[in-house]
Structures are given as structure tokens and as C-alpha cells.
Structure 1
């Protein structure tokens, strides 16, 4: 964050594509996010580990980056990173004073990290139901809830149909972004 003075708010990040730090951050990309809002020409990588991203931000090699609450939390006490926005439609309880991207003018922005438990096609409904009940019991355990909180994870246990809807929504979102040229394959 030290290298990008306009990057103290989402409103500063969006037009920051002309800032020297933004030019330094990475090679050019399309310059627009998946919703068509102008974004700085920063390279995005879905394969870089969150730890590497956070190390680069803390060291000042990158002006901004998108990552999970869980990977940002350990760095918050250092004072070397600042959370600019929650990417979800609602504020996170871990950073209740941080506005969402939507609150800062990026319409319809709603992305969250998630993990799904998948099984083979044709898995009997009885097995799916047993797994769901076991997960409900585990998620209700106070020890696990405390562990989630300590890690910066907001549990959101959904039934199989809810997981499928979330996966399909994201598939549509990222397919549209790729089709519009906002995501480009790099070698």
C-alpha cells in the first residue's frame, strides 16, 4: 500500500491506472473488471498463493491485491496493509468498519471465497444427506466455530443444491468476463 497513494480507497483504486505504482505493478491487461468498471492495469493471478500475494503487498512490491480475510488477518496488526473493501455484498464481521465494494460505487460486486465438498456423479441421495448432517454437526461445534473465527473464516454451510447454484453463478460470471476480454490467458 505504501507505493500507491491513490489506493487508500476503492474509489482511488479504480482510476489509479495512470498512477506510476499501477504501471509498475504488472504488464497491461484489459483495464476493466468483470462488471465493466475501469480498473488499473494490474495482472491478476488465480494461481499465486495468498501468502505470496500478501508478502508482495507487505513488502511494497504490489500496490493492491484481492485475497481472503483469512490471509489478510495475520498482517493487519503490522500496520503495513489496509483492507480497502469487502468483496461481498455485506460487510464482514472481521472488519465491520470496512465498506463493501458496492458501498464504494462498484455496482453488483459480490464475490467471496468458498470451498465445496464434491462427490462422484450419481452419489446416492442418502449418502449426500448423511454427509450434510455430519457437516451440520461439525459446523455447530463451538471449538470449530472458534477455530473458524481465529482464522478469519465466515462459515456458510449450504446444502448440495446451494453449492451447485453458487458454482454455476461463478461459472457464468467468469465466463462472461473472459468472453468480454477481461480475463486473458498468460503463458
Structure 2
């Protein structure tokens, strides 16, 4: 039988904070309102109903997710302080710089939550109808076909590095201080390409302001059913998603992890929750904690290799 958890302290009544509940459930290592902030707030209420307690989401942004992740890594392993971890906090950033925690040793994976694919979008003026055309242009003009990103080491930057490595071509990375200014310059035709998250790419593709060349997920998305995957476009084994999952500090008792996994799985498999997440451009995911832990280790190996091959530094 799965254990019950004692009630979490509610933010609605005064209490003296203790180290066991210094951050809430879960900690989001991003500012409020972003794509990484939506899934936990969408899921939190339903999870709280199953746990019989208030679920408090706290944003601890900064240092490229390191501040929030480090806070959870050093928290008491009692099931109260969890991390809404992402591909950045658990796989990419630790490969690029000293983040103050070990993404694999300091956490135990609890459950996947969702994954948002990227869309390789192009300004309509670019004479390319598909990924093959882009790669042909890159081979003819090494290092001159540019793609915008939210900054060095971000997921949409490394999506381009992985494509270049997989296809053995040279692309020109054009970094910005965030996705919004990068997307604005692609819309303005100043940079021809960008790997943009499905949620923000969709309205620009539907309006004709950008054209979608490929999605980076393993399978096509029902939101853009006529757009092929990068794999279908000739890039074998290519897959890039902005994935989210729940992690607990290392040492959290196995029965607590099992209880949280079971409740998160039930919440994520509910039809209304799946519908809501898909409306946000995310594909709901669930599964055993052990399997998710293996997936995260594989992702850490994959992105570590990309970072090393590209010679990226902070």
C-alpha cells in the first residue's frame, strides 16, 4: 500500500517555516508566466486534491535554473520540497558550467510531466521548403546560414548544434538575450531560421508570418499534422524537446517517491489534464520513476556530448 503523506503546511495559515518546507511543492527554476511555469500550476491543484493538501508552487529563478535546482538538491529528502526540472536544469546546464549540484547524484527522478517540441521555422523569404533544402544551403555556404536562439546553451541553440552535427554541416548561431527578441528578428527577416517552441511558433505559422520546415519530436504533432519530423526529413535519431519532470532530493524514501509517482500519473492521465496540456502545446507524459531516471541519464549523456563537441563554455 502506498503511504499517506502528512498535511503540508498551507500558505493560508501562519506557521513557522522549517527546512523541510522551505520551498513548497514544487520549485520552478524559472520566472512566473513562462512555458516552464504553466505545467506545474496546471497540475498543482489536481495533485493537491489527490494528496489531500495544498500544493504550493514557488518560482526560484536565476543562474539559468541553477538557483532553484540547487535549493531543492540541498533540501530535506522528505517529499515536501520537489523540483520541476527541465532538460536545461538536469542535462544541458550541468554539462556547460559548474551549477553547484550534481544533476544525477543529487536528485531522484519522480515522474515525467510533459514535453514541448520545437519547430524549425523560417522566414517566408528563405528559399527553403524543407530541412533538406536548409542542409543543402549550409553545405554550399558553410557557416553562413544563420539561426537565432534565446542565448548560448539554451535548448534552441543546442537543437541547431545537434542538427549541424548530425548532418555534418556548419550553421551560424545568432544568440539573443531571450526567445522574444530572437523571434522578433526572425519575423523581421534579419535571421532566416529558428528552433522555436511549438506553443509560440504555432500562431506565426498559422498566420503565414513564418513557415514550418520540421518538428523536432519523435512523432508529428497533431497541431501541425502536415509538418514532418526532423527524422522524416533525413536526420536519423534526431529528437529535441523541452521536457519537464518532477524530481526529489536524493535520499527521498522509495515509498514517498512511489506515492508521488502514482498520484502524478493519475493526474497526468486524466482526459481533462491531457486536453489542457495539449492546448498549451505540450505532450503529456507519465511513467515509472525508474524508467524516467534512465531517460534523464540518457539525455544528460546526449547533451553532454553535444556541448563537448561544440566546445561550448559559460
How would you bin the TM-score normalised by the shorter chain?
Answer: 0.7 to 0.9
CA RMSD in angstroms comes to 3.0
Q: 2:145 matched to 1:22?
A: yes
Q: 2:171 matched to 1:40?
A: yes
What is the aligned partner in structure 1 of residue 279 from structure 2? 150
Q: 2:256 matched to 1:121?
A: no
Q: Quick check: 2:147–2:174 contact (8 Å CA) kept in 1? A: no
Q: How far off is 1:11 after superposition?
A: 0.8
| Cα separation, 2, equivalents of 1:30 and 1:84 | 17
What is the aligned partner in structure 2 of residue 5 from structure 1? 127
Distance 1:71 1:32, change over 3 A: closer
Per-residue Cα deviation, 1:24-55 (whole angstroms, up to 9, x for no partner): 979xx98972335214223467xx54444333
Return 5+ residue gaps in structure 1 as ranges.
none
Return 5+ residue gaps in structure 2 as ranges.
1-122, 150-159
| Cα separation, 2, equivalents of 1:137 and 1:23 | 43
What is the aligned partner in structure 2 of residue 102 from structure 1? 231
Q: Quick check: 2:131–2:230 contact (8 Å CA) kept in 1? A: yes
Q: 2:306 matched to 1:184?
A: no
Per-residue Cα deviation, 1:59-97 (whole angstroms, up to 9, x for no partner): 223211112212212323321112211212222222121
Secondary structure at 2:251's aligned position in 1?
coil
Q: Quick check: 1:33–1:39 contact (8 Å CA) kept in 2? A: yes
TM-score, structure 1 normalization: 0.79
Q: Quick check: 2:142–2:170 contact (8 Å CA) kept in 1? A: no
| Cα separation, 2, equivalents of 1:31 and 1:20 | 15
Q: How far off is 1:145 after superposition?
A: 2.1
User: After alignment, is 56-65 or 111-120 more displaced?
Assistant: 56-65
TM-score, structure 2 normalization: 0.50
What is the aligned partner in structure 2 of residue 90 from structure 1? 219
Secondary structure at 1:95's aligned position in 2?
coil
Per-residue Cα deviation, 1:121-146 (whole angstroms, up to 9, x for no partner): 01111111111122122213333222
Q: 2:303 aligns with which of 151, 167, 174?
A: 174
Q: 2:290 aligns with which of 143, 157, 161?
A: 161
Distance 1:73 1:23, change over 3 A: closer
Q: Quick check: 2:143–2:170 contact (8 Å CA) kept in 1? A: no
Q: Which has the higher contact order (CA 8 A, sep 6+)?
A: 2
Q: 2:194 matched to 1:65?
A: yes
